[in-house]
């Protein structure tokens, strides 16, 4: 089953997709945010087109486990997805995924200007890969809230 991973920001949504075996995540695109209803419709179309069996949304939890303002916005988006989609929508702790993604892009020799354009997709990939690795290791899915 393929998993679709989302790194939801105010301006863009980074999107990653797993392979059929749910082993490897790959960044596929970055969607500009255009409004809640249209954003949800775009994700629903991707789920259908790509044959995703679940959607994993990265949530920026605080170190104490609470939600800050951005986390609350992401959770509102998660609820909108859950109302619209016919596949499970789960959350995963994405703290530091953007930092890790930026470091990996820099290590790969991607210039700063190009990293900025690719960071959302890369962060979605890091987040989704962490989720897939934890699930395949049969580790309890800490950070999931749905």
Per-residue pLDDT of the chain (146 residues; tens, 9 = 90+): 999 999 999 999 999 999 999 999 999 999 999 999 999 999 999 999 999 999 999 999 888 889 999 999 999 999 999 999 999 999 998 866 666 666 776 677 767 777 666 778 888 999 999 999 988 876 555 555 55
Complete domains list, the chain, with CATH: 2-136 (3.30.420.140)
Which two tokens mark 115?
Answer: 């990293």
In the chain, which residue ranges form alpha helices assigned H by DSSP?
36-50, 69-84, 97-107, 112-136
| Whole-angstrom distance, CA of residue 126 vs CA of residue 99 | 10
């Amino acid at each position: 089953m393929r998993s679709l991973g989302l790194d939801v920001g105010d301006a863009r949504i980074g999107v990653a997709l797993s392979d059929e075996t749910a082993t490897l995540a790959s960044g596929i695109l970055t969607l500009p945010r255009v409004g809640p209803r249209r954003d949800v419709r775009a994700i629903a179309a991707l789920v259908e087109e790509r044959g995703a069996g679940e959607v994993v949304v990265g949530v920026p939890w605080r170190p104490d486990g609470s939600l800050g303002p951005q986390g609350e916005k992401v959770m509102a988006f998660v609820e909108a997805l859950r109302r619209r989609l016919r596949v499970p929508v789960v959350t995963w702790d994405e703290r530091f995924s953007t930092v890790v993604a930026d470091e990996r892009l820099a290590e790969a020799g991607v210039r700063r200007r190009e990293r900025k354009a690719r960071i959302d997709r890369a962060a979605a990939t890091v987040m989704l890969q962490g989720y897939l690795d934890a699930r395949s290791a049969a580790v309890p899915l800490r950070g999931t809230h749905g």
